[in-house]
Amino acid sequence: MQSEDDDLRIGVPGAALAPGRVPAPTRPSAPEGADGLELRPGETELGRPPQVPADLTELSRADLAQLKLLDDEQAARDVAEAELLLTSDPTGLGWLGWFGSPIALAALLGVTGVLGVFLFNQTAQLLHALAAQPEWAQYVGYAGLGLFGCCVLYAFVRFLVLYVRLRENRQLRVKGIKELSNRTRLRWLAAARTNEARAQIETYLKTYPIDTERDRRALEKLGLTPDAVARLKAVRAELLDHDKFASSDQWFARFRDQFQSVIDAAAEARARYWASRIWVLTAVAPNAMIDSGATLFYTFSMLSELCQLYNLRAGRTGTAVLMGRTFFNAYLAGQATEWEKLAEDQYDQLFNEAMSTVGVSVSAGVVGKVVGKVGAKVTTGYLNRVLLIRLGRYACRLLRPVTKD
Protein backbone atom coordinates (compact mmCIF):
# COMPACT_ATOMS: atom_id res chain seq x y z
CA MET A 1 0.00 0.00 0.00
CA GLN A 2 1.39 3.39 -1.00
CA SER A 3 1.73 5.90 1.83
CA GLU A 4 0.86 9.55 1.63
CA ASP A 5 4.49 10.53 1.99
CA ASP A 6 5.30 9.00 -1.37
CA ASP A 7 3.02 11.56 -3.13
CA LEU A 8 4.73 14.65 -1.60
CA ARG A 9 6.52 15.50 -4.80
CA ILE A 10 6.42 18.75 -6.65
CA GLY A 11 4.03 18.72 -9.56
CA VAL A 12 2.52 15.34 -8.64
CA PRO A 13 -1.10 15.46 -7.47
CA GLY A 14 -2.01 13.46 -4.47
CA ALA A 15 -4.55 13.10 -1.71
CA ALA A 16 -4.96 15.94 0.69
CA LEU A 17 -3.23 15.67 4.05
CA ALA A 18 -5.11 15.48 7.18
CA PRO A 19 -5.56 18.77 9.02
CA GLY A 20 -2.59 19.62 11.35
CA ARG A 21 -0.27 17.10 9.80
CA VAL A 22 3.16 18.38 8.64
CA PRO A 23 4.92 16.53 5.92
CA ALA A 24 8.27 15.01 6.82
CA PRO A 25 11.29 16.76 5.26
CA THR A 26 12.97 14.99 2.46
CA ARG A 27 16.69 14.15 2.50
CA PRO A 28 18.90 14.88 -0.48
CA SER A 29 19.89 11.83 -2.31
CA ALA A 30 23.44 10.78 -1.55
CA PRO A 31 25.76 10.20 -4.47
CA GLU A 32 26.19 6.76 -5.65
CA GLY A 33 28.65 4.88 -3.58
CA ALA A 34 28.56 7.46 -0.73
CA ASP A 35 28.42 4.77 1.92
CA GLY A 36 31.98 4.06 3.10
CA LEU A 37 33.51 6.41 0.49
CA GLU A 38 37.15 7.40 1.11
CA LEU A 39 38.19 10.58 -0.70
CA ARG A 40 41.74 11.05 -1.93
CA PRO A 41 43.65 14.24 -1.05
CA GLY A 42 42.36 17.12 -3.14
CA GLU A 43 39.10 15.41 -4.19
CA THR A 44 35.55 16.38 -3.31
CA GLU A 45 32.25 14.56 -3.36
CA LEU A 46 31.70 16.03 -6.81
CA GLY A 47 34.39 13.77 -8.14
CA ARG A 48 36.60 16.67 -9.40
CA PRO A 49 39.84 18.00 -7.80
CA PRO A 50 39.86 21.67 -6.74
CA GLN A 51 41.02 24.24 -9.28
CA VAL A 52 44.26 25.96 -8.02
CA PRO A 53 45.92 28.91 -9.86
CA ALA A 54 49.33 28.19 -11.31
CA ASP A 55 50.98 30.91 -9.13
CA LEU A 56 49.81 29.13 -5.97
CA THR A 57 51.21 25.76 -6.79
CA GLU A 58 53.82 24.19 -4.56
CA LEU A 59 57.36 25.56 -5.06
CA SER A 60 59.97 23.28 -6.51
CA ARG A 61 63.51 22.87 -5.21
CA ALA A 62 64.84 25.13 -7.97
CA ASP A 63 62.37 27.85 -6.98
CA LEU A 64 63.38 27.57 -3.32
CA ALA A 65 67.07 27.80 -4.24
CA GLN A 66 66.41 30.90 -6.38
CA LEU A 67 64.50 32.58 -3.55
CA LYS A 68 67.30 31.83 -1.10
CA LEU A 69 69.83 33.35 -3.51
CA LEU A 70 67.74 36.51 -3.85
CA ASP A 71 67.43 36.78 -0.05
CA ASP A 72 71.19 36.42 0.36
CA GLU A 73 71.85 39.13 -2.23
CA GLN A 74 69.38 41.49 -0.53
CA ALA A 75 70.95 40.78 2.84
CA ALA A 76 74.39 41.57 1.42
CA ARG A 77 73.11 44.87 0.03
CA ASP A 78 71.50 45.70 3.37
CA VAL A 79 74.75 44.98 5.21
CA ALA A 80 76.74 47.13 2.77
CA GLU A 81 74.25 49.97 3.18
CA ALA A 82 74.43 49.59 6.94
CA GLU A 83 78.21 49.80 6.90
CA LEU A 84 78.02 53.04 4.92
CA LEU A 85 75.56 54.45 7.45
CA LEU A 86 77.58 53.40 10.48
CA THR A 87 81.08 54.26 9.26
CA SER A 88 81.89 57.91 8.69
CA ASP A 89 84.42 59.35 6.26
CA PRO A 90 86.59 61.76 8.27
CA THR A 91 89.02 62.26 5.37
CA GLY A 92 86.57 64.52 3.55
CA LEU A 93 87.02 62.76 0.21
CA GLY A 94 83.28 61.96 -0.13
CA TRP A 95 82.53 59.70 -3.08
CA LEU A 96 86.25 59.65 -3.88
CA GLY A 97 86.62 57.47 -0.79
CA TRP A 98 86.36 54.43 -3.08
CA PHE A 99 89.71 55.51 -4.56
CA GLY A 100 90.89 57.34 -1.45
CA SER A 101 94.05 55.39 -0.69
CA PRO A 102 95.56 55.43 -4.23
CA ILE A 103 94.72 59.11 -4.74
CA ALA A 104 96.05 60.13 -1.33
CA LEU A 105 99.25 58.11 -1.76
CA ALA A 106 99.84 59.52 -5.23
CA ALA A 107 99.30 63.07 -3.96
CA LEU A 108 101.64 62.40 -1.04
CA LEU A 109 104.41 61.16 -3.35
CA GLY A 110 103.97 64.13 -5.67
CA VAL A 111 104.04 66.73 -2.90
CA THR A 112 107.00 65.01 -1.22
CA GLY A 113 108.96 65.11 -4.49
CA VAL A 114 108.21 68.79 -5.06
CA LEU A 115 109.15 69.66 -1.48
CA GLY A 116 112.36 67.63 -1.73
CA VAL A 117 113.47 69.42 -4.88
CA PHE A 118 112.61 72.79 -3.34
CA LEU A 119 114.54 72.09 -0.13
CA PHE A 120 117.52 70.79 -2.08
CA ASN A 121 117.70 73.99 -4.15
CA GLN A 122 117.30 76.21 -1.10
CA THR A 123 119.96 74.30 0.82
CA ALA A 124 122.38 74.55 -2.10
CA GLN A 125 121.83 78.32 -2.31
CA LEU A 126 122.33 78.68 1.44
CA LEU A 127 125.56 76.68 1.39
CA HIS A 128 126.82 78.74 -1.54
CA ALA A 129 126.06 81.93 0.39
CA LEU A 130 127.86 80.60 3.48
CA ALA A 131 130.92 79.72 1.40
CA ALA A 132 131.36 83.40 0.56
CA GLN A 133 131.41 84.42 4.24
CA PRO A 134 134.43 84.59 6.57
CA GLU A 135 135.67 81.40 8.14
CA TRP A 136 134.21 82.06 11.57
CA ALA A 137 130.81 82.87 10.03
CA GLN A 138 130.94 79.65 8.04
CA TYR A 139 131.43 77.58 11.22
CA VAL A 140 128.56 79.37 12.95
CA GLY A 141 126.32 78.97 9.92
CA TYR A 142 127.12 75.28 9.46
CA ALA A 143 126.56 74.60 13.19
CA GLY A 144 123.24 76.42 13.16
CA LEU A 145 122.13 74.69 9.98
CA GLY A 146 123.04 71.28 11.41
CA LEU A 147 121.21 72.00 14.67
CA PHE A 148 118.15 73.15 12.78
CA GLY A 149 118.17 69.99 10.66
CA CYS A 150 118.50 67.81 13.78
CA CYS A 151 115.49 69.54 15.36
CA VAL A 152 113.34 68.90 12.30
CA LEU A 153 114.52 65.28 12.10
CA TYR A 154 113.85 64.76 15.83
CA ALA A 155 110.29 66.09 15.49
CA PHE A 156 109.61 63.77 12.53
CA VAL A 157 111.09 60.65 14.19
CA ARG A 158 109.22 61.37 17.44
CA PHE A 159 105.96 61.71 15.55
CA LEU A 160 106.63 58.55 13.52
CA VAL A 161 107.44 56.38 16.56
CA LEU A 162 104.43 57.64 18.50
CA TYR A 163 102.16 57.24 15.48
CA VAL A 164 103.14 53.62 14.86
CA ARG A 165 102.59 52.63 18.48
CA LEU A 166 99.06 54.02 18.72
CA ARG A 167 95.89 52.12 17.82
CA GLU A 168 94.13 53.01 14.58
CA ASN A 169 90.95 55.02 14.94
CA ARG A 170 87.69 53.44 13.72
CA GLN A 171 85.42 56.42 13.86
CA LEU A 172 81.77 55.76 14.76
CA ARG A 173 78.81 57.63 13.28
CA VAL A 174 76.03 58.03 15.84
CA LYS A 175 73.63 59.53 13.29
CA GLY A 176 74.02 56.44 11.12
CA ILE A 177 73.12 54.15 14.02
CA LYS A 178 69.94 56.14 14.68
CA GLU A 179 68.95 56.07 11.02
CA LEU A 180 69.66 52.37 10.79
CA SER A 181 67.56 51.55 13.84
CA ASN A 182 64.53 53.19 12.16
CA ARG A 183 64.58 50.66 9.33
CA THR A 184 62.59 47.55 10.17
CA ARG A 185 64.64 45.13 8.09
CA LEU A 186 67.93 46.29 9.59
CA ARG A 187 67.04 46.70 13.25
CA TRP A 188 68.77 43.46 14.16
CA LEU A 189 71.91 44.67 12.40
CA ALA A 190 71.67 48.07 14.11
CA ALA A 191 71.49 46.37 17.51
CA ALA A 192 74.50 44.19 16.73
CA ARG A 193 76.58 47.10 15.41
CA THR A 194 75.58 49.28 18.36
CA ASN A 195 76.80 46.67 20.81
CA GLU A 196 80.03 46.30 18.83
CA ALA A 197 80.57 50.07 18.73
CA ARG A 198 79.89 50.38 22.43
CA ALA A 199 82.40 47.63 23.20
CA GLN A 200 84.94 49.46 21.02
CA ILE A 201 84.49 52.73 22.92
CA GLU A 202 84.65 50.90 26.25
CA THR A 203 88.02 49.47 25.21
CA TYR A 204 89.13 52.99 24.31
CA LEU A 205 88.06 54.27 27.73
CA LYS A 206 89.86 51.49 29.56
CA THR A 207 93.11 52.09 27.67
CA TYR A 208 93.07 55.89 27.85
CA PRO A 209 96.16 56.89 29.90
CA ILE A 210 94.84 58.75 32.96
CA ASP A 211 95.48 56.23 35.74
CA THR A 212 99.13 56.69 36.69
CA GLU A 213 100.85 59.83 37.89
CA ARG A 214 103.16 59.74 34.88
CA ASP A 215 100.21 59.75 32.51
CA ARG A 216 98.60 62.65 34.31
CA ARG A 217 101.80 64.70 34.12
CA ALA A 218 102.11 63.97 30.41
CA LEU A 219 98.51 65.07 29.81
CA GLU A 220 99.02 68.18 31.90
CA LYS A 221 101.85 69.22 29.56
CA LEU A 222 99.43 68.85 26.68
CA GLY A 223 96.90 71.23 28.21
CA LEU A 224 94.70 68.91 30.30
CA THR A 225 94.59 70.44 33.77
CA PRO A 226 94.20 68.28 36.90
CA ASP A 227 90.53 69.30 37.04
CA ALA A 228 90.03 68.17 33.47
CA VAL A 229 91.75 64.84 34.17
CA ALA A 230 89.57 64.31 37.25
CA ARG A 231 86.50 65.05 35.15
CA LEU A 232 87.61 62.49 32.56
CA LYS A 233 88.03 59.85 35.25
CA ALA A 234 84.59 60.55 36.69
CA VAL A 235 82.89 60.41 33.29
CA ARG A 236 84.77 57.22 32.45
CA ALA A 237 83.53 55.56 35.63
CA GLU A 238 79.95 56.49 34.70
CA LEU A 239 80.32 55.20 31.15
CA LEU A 240 81.71 51.86 32.29
CA ASP A 241 78.70 51.38 34.57
CA HIS A 242 76.03 49.79 32.34
CA ASP A 243 73.19 50.42 34.80
CA LYS A 244 73.31 54.22 34.60
CA PHE A 245 72.06 54.62 31.04
CA ALA A 246 68.69 53.60 29.66
CA SER A 247 69.76 53.49 26.01
CA SER A 248 72.85 53.44 23.84
CA ASP A 249 71.96 56.87 22.43
CA GLN A 250 72.31 58.41 25.88
CA TRP A 251 75.56 56.53 26.39
CA PHE A 252 77.12 57.80 23.16
CA ALA A 253 75.89 61.33 23.83
CA ARG A 254 77.46 61.26 27.28
CA PHE A 255 80.77 60.10 25.85
CA ARG A 256 80.78 62.71 23.11
CA ASP A 257 79.63 65.68 25.22
CA GLN A 258 81.43 64.98 28.49
CA PHE A 259 84.55 62.95 27.63
CA GLN A 260 85.48 63.64 24.03
CA SER A 261 84.64 67.36 24.26
CA VAL A 262 87.29 67.85 26.96
CA ILE A 263 89.92 66.35 24.66
CA ASP A 264 88.64 68.45 21.75
CA ALA A 265 89.07 71.66 23.74
CA ALA A 266 92.64 70.76 24.72
CA ALA A 267 93.47 69.78 21.11
CA GLU A 268 92.15 73.10 19.79
CA ALA A 269 94.31 74.96 22.33
CA ARG A 270 97.44 73.03 21.31
CA ALA A 271 96.81 73.72 17.64
CA ARG A 272 96.54 77.45 18.32
CA TYR A 273 99.66 77.33 20.50
CA TRP A 274 101.83 75.88 17.73
CA ALA A 275 100.17 78.14 15.15
CA SER A 276 101.14 81.24 17.13
CA ARG A 277 104.73 80.07 17.35
CA ILE A 278 104.97 79.42 13.63
CA TRP A 279 103.53 82.87 12.97
CA VAL A 280 106.36 84.54 14.86
CA LEU A 281 109.18 82.37 13.54
CA THR A 282 108.25 82.46 9.87
CA ALA A 283 107.69 86.22 10.12
CA VAL A 284 111.33 86.80 11.17
CA ALA A 285 112.98 83.93 9.25
CA PRO A 286 115.44 85.28 6.67
CA ASN A 287 115.42 82.31 4.32
CA ALA A 288 112.81 80.18 2.52
CA MET A 289 114.44 76.95 3.70
CA ILE A 290 114.12 78.13 7.31
CA ASP A 291 110.42 78.78 6.70
CA SER A 292 109.85 75.28 5.29
CA GLY A 293 111.94 73.57 7.98
CA ALA A 294 110.20 75.47 10.78
CA THR A 295 106.81 74.56 9.31
CA LEU A 296 107.75 70.87 9.29
CA PHE A 297 109.07 71.04 12.85
CA TYR A 298 106.00 72.73 14.30
CA THR A 299 103.60 70.59 12.28
CA PHE A 300 105.11 67.29 13.42
CA SER A 301 105.24 68.56 17.01
CA MET A 302 101.57 69.53 16.88
CA LEU A 303 100.52 66.22 15.32
CA SER A 304 102.45 64.27 17.95
CA GLU A 305 100.62 66.07 20.74
CA LEU A 306 97.23 65.62 19.10
CA CYS A 307 97.82 61.88 18.76
CA GLN A 308 98.83 61.74 22.42
CA LEU A 309 95.70 63.61 23.47
CA TYR A 310 93.35 61.29 21.58
CA ASN A 311 95.54 58.22 22.11
CA LEU A 312 94.75 57.19 18.53
CA ARG A 313 96.14 57.45 15.02
CA ALA A 314 94.38 57.97 11.72
CA GLY A 315 93.71 55.27 9.14
CA ARG A 316 95.78 54.62 6.05
CA THR A 317 93.96 57.05 3.78
CA GLY A 318 93.73 59.70 6.49
CA THR A 319 97.44 59.41 7.22
CA ALA A 320 98.33 59.85 3.55
CA VAL A 321 96.12 62.94 3.26
CA LEU A 322 97.54 64.33 6.51
CA MET A 323 101.14 63.92 5.38
CA GLY A 324 100.34 65.34 1.95
CA ARG A 325 98.88 68.47 3.49
CA THR A 326 101.85 68.75 5.86
CA PHE A 327 104.41 68.74 3.05
CA PHE A 328 102.27 71.03 0.92
CA ASN A 329 102.08 73.58 3.74
CA ALA A 330 105.86 73.41 4.11
CA TYR A 331 106.25 74.05 0.39
CA LEU A 332 103.88 77.03 0.55
CA ALA A 333 105.81 78.43 3.50
CA GLY A 334 109.00 78.33 1.42
CA GLN A 335 107.33 79.94 -1.56
CA ALA A 336 106.02 82.78 0.61
CA THR A 337 109.33 84.57 0.06
CA GLU A 338 108.30 85.28 -3.53
CA TRP A 339 104.96 86.61 -2.38
CA GLU A 340 106.59 88.88 0.17
CA LYS A 341 108.06 91.06 -2.59
CA LEU A 342 104.63 91.66 -4.09
CA ALA A 343 103.06 92.26 -0.68
CA GLU A 344 105.90 94.60 0.26
CA ASP A 345 105.33 96.77 -2.80
CA GLN A 346 101.60 96.90 -2.15
CA TYR A 347 102.05 97.93 1.50
CA ASP A 348 104.60 100.57 0.50
CA GLN A 349 102.22 102.04 -2.07
CA LEU A 350 99.27 102.04 0.30
CA PHE A 351 101.32 103.74 3.03
CA ASN A 352 102.57 106.48 0.73
CA GLU A 353 99.05 107.12 -0.58
CA ALA A 354 97.68 107.28 2.97
CA MET A 355 100.36 109.74 4.06
CA SER A 356 99.76 111.89 0.98
CA THR A 357 96.03 111.93 1.68
CA VAL A 358 96.45 113.25 5.23
CA GLY A 359 99.13 115.72 4.13
CA VAL A 360 102.07 114.19 5.94
CA SER A 361 105.30 114.15 3.98
CA VAL A 362 107.63 111.23 4.43
CA SER A 363 111.22 111.76 3.35
CA ALA A 364 112.38 109.48 0.52
CA GLY A 365 109.75 106.87 1.34
CA VAL A 366 111.99 105.19 3.93
CA VAL A 367 109.19 104.67 6.40
CA GLY A 368 106.98 103.26 3.66
CA LYS A 369 109.58 100.68 2.73
CA VAL A 370 109.97 99.65 6.38
CA VAL A 371 106.22 99.35 6.80
CA GLY A 372 105.99 97.35 3.59
CA LYS A 373 108.72 94.95 4.69
CA VAL A 374 107.25 94.38 8.14
CA GLY A 375 103.72 94.10 6.79
CA ALA A 376 104.73 91.49 4.20
CA LYS A 377 106.51 89.42 6.84
CA VAL A 378 103.56 89.58 9.21
CA THR A 379 101.16 88.64 6.43
CA THR A 380 103.13 85.57 5.35
CA GLY A 381 103.55 84.51 8.98
CA TYR A 382 99.82 84.84 9.57
CA LEU A 383 99.13 82.78 6.45
CA ASN A 384 101.28 79.98 7.85
CA ARG A 385 99.39 80.27 11.12
CA VAL A 386 96.03 79.85 9.36
CA LEU A 387 97.29 76.84 7.42
CA LEU A 388 98.57 75.16 10.58
CA ILE A 389 95.30 75.72 12.45
CA ARG A 390 93.35 74.23 9.55
CA LEU A 391 95.67 71.23 9.50
CA GLY A 392 95.25 70.78 13.25
CA ARG A 393 91.46 70.83 13.00
CA TYR A 394 91.59 68.32 10.16
CA ALA A 395 93.78 66.05 12.29
CA CYS A 396 91.28 66.33 15.16
CA ARG A 397 88.48 65.30 12.83
CA LEU A 398 90.49 62.22 11.84
CA LEU A 399 91.27 61.26 15.45
CA ARG A 400 87.86 61.69 17.11
CA PRO A 401 86.45 58.30 18.19
CA VAL A 402 82.80 59.36 17.71
CA THR A 403 81.24 61.82 15.31
CA LYS A 404 77.68 63.11 15.47
CA ASP A 405 77.11 63.60 11.73
DSSP structure string for 351-377: HHHHHHHHT---GGGHHHHHHHHHHHH
Q: Which residues contact 75 (CB under 8 A, 6 or more apart)?
A: none
Please state the domain extents for the chain.
75-201+266-403
pLDDT at 171 over 60: yes
Sequence-ordered strand ranges (E) for 49-171: none
Kind and range of the H or E run holding 394: helix 366-399
Q: What pLDDT shows up at residue 9?
A: 47
**250-273 pLDDT per residue, tens:** 888 899 899 999 999 999 999 999
Rounded Cα–Cα distance for residues 320 and 326 (Å) = 10
Provide the whole-model pTM. 0.68
Q: What pLDDT shows up at residue 300?
A: 94
Rounded Cα–Cα distance for residues 132 and 393 (Å) = 44
**118-133 pLDDT per residue, tens:** 888 888 888 888 888 8
